[in-house]
Structure formats: C-alpha cells, structure tokens
Structure 1
C-alpha cells in the first residue's frame, strides 16, 4: 500500500452538496478499477472514498457527498479548502473489476456510489469492451444524477453499454424508472445467474441488494462490493 501526498487540482460542486475533486499525487499511483483510497486525517482516523477515475487516466478523482452537519466528509472538504492537499493511502478494497471474466457486467450504484461504477466504466471505455454492461444508478431526486448526461452520451456511443437511472422520489414529468434501484433491476432481469454484479452505496442498501439477489439465485462468487467485507 502506498501513502502519498496529493495536491488539489480542482473542486466543483456537481450537484447540491456533491463535490467532484481532482487530485494530483506527488508520485505515480497504482490501483485497479473499482478500488478505493483512505484519506489520512490522523493515524487513527482514516476515511475511505471510492476512486472515481480509471487507472488509465491521470491523477486521482473523488466524488464526495458532504451534506451540512455531517463531519465525516465535511472535515475532509474543509482540509482541502484550507490546505489544498490530502494525504491518502491506496489501493484498498477487493471489489475491483474482474477483467478476466467473460460474463456480462451489472453495476448497481446508489448516490455517490456511482463514483465506484465510474472508475469501472472509464476503464472499459479506455481498454475496449465487447460484453454487455448495464448500469443502474439509484438516487432520491433526479438532480442527484450529477453525471447522468455523460453516461447517456457513453450509452449512445457504445452499443454494449446500457444505462438505467432510477429515481426514488420523482418530480412530475419523470419518465424513467421509479422506486428503489434493486427493485428496478429485479423487474428488468428474469435471471441474473450469468452476470458479474458490482454494488456500491450505503451499507444498508448493499445489504438489501445482497439479500434480494440471493433469493434470485445469485451466488457470492458473482457479487462484488466493498461493503460486503464489513456487513
């Protein structure tokens, strides 16, 4: 594992209370698509965040949801604003993209868990892919699909990529999928036993998805998500 100093290159609020962070490491970094890093706030205070870019692209990117009153991400954002740098440790996580598999790929993301899926999607685009890939991105409100237009453009360009945004509380006029993201997946797929399934989001969401997929005959060998190392 590497411990590296990173300098802030760019910080942009891409949706309300969701920030896209670009970091420039002081030395070369090595990681696999779908892995995460830890921000070192102190030796006993290390905070994990998914790496939001593919290792085929320069630097490190994060997508941080920092709502007011939540110190866990808020203190990381404050350190970035005041010092312009972070100390990080990487690579971490066992839910990286299984490149050697030939199965179709199903990515299930909740909220800023999309950053995990984004790393895998960029890697697939940069290295070429010919197996079907499905992204289901679940959010509470449509405004939280902060990079939805980019994903739509990718889906238009790459015939093997299919994108389904799922909004839990849609506004009038929303014509896409509604409700919980895993329910949309189960409604669309009669069988999932031939898929590699990657999951990122809140632990509670990941637990519900695992239980629902087990009932559909999905084995743990097909299911990848860093949450499953802890729950």
Structure 2
C-alpha cells in the first residue's frame, strides 16, 4: 500500500457511545461507502465549522472494503473547540481529511520484530489500530502494551486489552493515582517507571509511544537515558 496524499470528505456520525465519564467512541461513515487508505497508527483531521481543526488518532485498523472509522474523543468542558466539536457530532456530520501522521506500522515491517506500545489516556486509540492490525495479520513477534491512566476508571475500554491477551499480547496497565477505594491490585506509579523496571525484556522492541506531546517526549528521553535504542519520535 502506497499512500501519497490526504483526501477530504464529509462523514456522517454513525454512532456515539459514552465509554467513561468524558470519553466517547465515535464512528464515522462516508456517504459513498469508500474510505481512503491509511496506515495503522495514522490520524485524521476534523475541520470544524468555526475554521478550527482537531486531530484524532484513527482507532480502527485499516482493512479492505472498510465502511467505518472509529475515534476515541475526550470531551473537554472548558474548551470552546471541544464544545463546537460535540455540537457538530450531535448534528451528525463531520468534515475530515486523512490520512496524516508519520508514526505508523509500515508495510515492510518484519513480522518477527518484537513490538512495544506505550499509551497514556486516549493515546490508546492509536495503539488499538496498530495492535488489531498486527493480530489480524498474525504478527509473530512479541507484543507488549503499557497503558497508563490516572485511576482505574480511566481505562475506558478495560476488557479489550484483556481479550488481546488471549491472542498472545502482553498487557501491562499502570495506574498513577489509585487509592484504597479503587481496590486496584495492579501496578502503581508513572508509566515510564514500569517501562524501566521491565527494560530487560523490552530493550530489543520497536517502540511506539502515544499520548500528549509532553508525555511522548518525556518518556522517550527517559528511555534513551536508560539505554534504549535511539530513534527520533514520529508524530
């Protein structure tokens, strides 16, 4: 698959589902039923009616005859852009362009290559696209997913990575601010601390990091400082 330029199109909002207190799964469909090709891990741009643009990772893995695109969108009550976006979602039509982004799984990827996916918050959506693509195409290398959240309730699709574990994925959820009321028995602390604790089994992985720019570069810097192979982050 060779993708050279993005396409603009109008999509209908086929479905919305509240996954947590403020995160929605939004499914888009085109009137023509045809979606542009994209690589797993790329994102799309939503062009709002107020001339602002919002970028969202495509959570659905690309496939032939694809009918829908899945997005994971956090509603930010203090953001005018977020309020405008959700008004347009409620109206049922979004203008988008895709694909965009240089952080994705290439066609030429070695199926034996061990992979490390690191996600914070809704950064999980980008990892979902890549992981589902790998599982669908029978990737033979080990796959590790580290998903960081502030509280256990912030894992907005908690059962999905567990399902992937049944297909061989190694899932490592990490909570930074769990308290006694959460009854959390998993790993505590910062996401990069879990990565460093497991560095011996992760050192040879090809790594993808998704989250806020601050989180991505901070995690990257800490990993490089601790001996992980150096490669400039792609956005």
Name the TM-score, length of structure 1 as normaliser. 0.90
RMSD: 1.7
How far did 1:193 drift? 4.0
Residue 70 of structure 1 is matched in structure 2 by 79
Residue 2 of structure 1 is matched in structure 2 by 7
Structure 1 residue 122 corresponds to structure 2 residue 132: yes
How far did 1:45 drift? 2.2
Partner residue of 1:217 out of 212, 222, 227? 227
How far did 1:218 drift? 2.8
Flag the 1:225–1:147 CA change in 2: closer, same or farther, 3 A: farther
Measured in 2, the distance between the counterparts of 1:142 and 1:21 equals 22
Write the deviation string for residues 79-138 of structure 1: whole angstroms up to 9, x where unpaired: 111x20101000000001135234210000000010000001111122111110000000
* Equivalent pair of 1:25/1:60 in contact (CA under 8 Å): no
Measured in 2, the distance between the counterparts of 1:41 and 1:194 equals 42
- The number of equivalent residue pairs is 222
User: Mean Cα displacement is larger for which, 117-126 or 182-191?
Assistant: 182-191
* Equivalent pair of 1:135/1:164 in contact (CA under 8 Å): yes
Structure 2 stretches of 5 or more lacking a match? 1-5
Measured in 2, the distance between the counterparts of 1:128 and 1:92 equals 25
Measured in 2, the distance between the counterparts of 1:93 and 1:43 equals 23
Measured in 2, the distance between the counterparts of 1:163 and 1:217 equals 23
- Where 2:27 maps in the other structure, the secondary structure is strand
* Equivalent pair of 1:109/1:117 in contact (CA under 8 Å): yes
Flag the 1:224–1:126 CA change in 2: closer, same or farther, 3 A: farther
How far did 1:58 drift? 3.5
Measured in 1, the distance between the counterparts of 2:67 and 2:82 equals 24
How far did 1:191 drift? 6.2
Residue 122 of structure 2 is matched in structure 1 by 112
Structure 1 residue 153 corresponds to structure 2 residue 163: yes
* Equivalent pair of 1:200/1:225 in contact (CA under 8 Å): no
Partner residue of 2:21 out of 7, 16, 20? 16
Partner residue of 1:79 out of 88, 97, 102? 88
Measured in 1, the distance between the counterparts of 2:82 and 2:122 equals 12
Measured in 2, the distance between the counterparts of 1:187 and 1:72 equals 39
How far did 1:207 drift? 1.6
Residue 206 of structure 1 is matched in structure 2 by 216
Residue 41 of structure 1 is matched in structure 2 by 48
Partner residue of 2:146 out of 112, 118, 136? 136
Measured in 2, the distance between the counterparts of 1:113 and 1:58 equals 23
How far did 1:224 drift? 4.5
How far did 1:146 drift? 1.1
Write the deviation string for residues 156-209 of structure 1: whole angstroms up to 9, x where unpaired: 2x12x1001111111322111111111111111236442110011011111210
Measured in 2, the distance between the counterparts of 1:217 and 1:20 equals 37
Residue 229 of structure 1 is matched in structure 2 by none
How far did 1:14 drift? 0.3
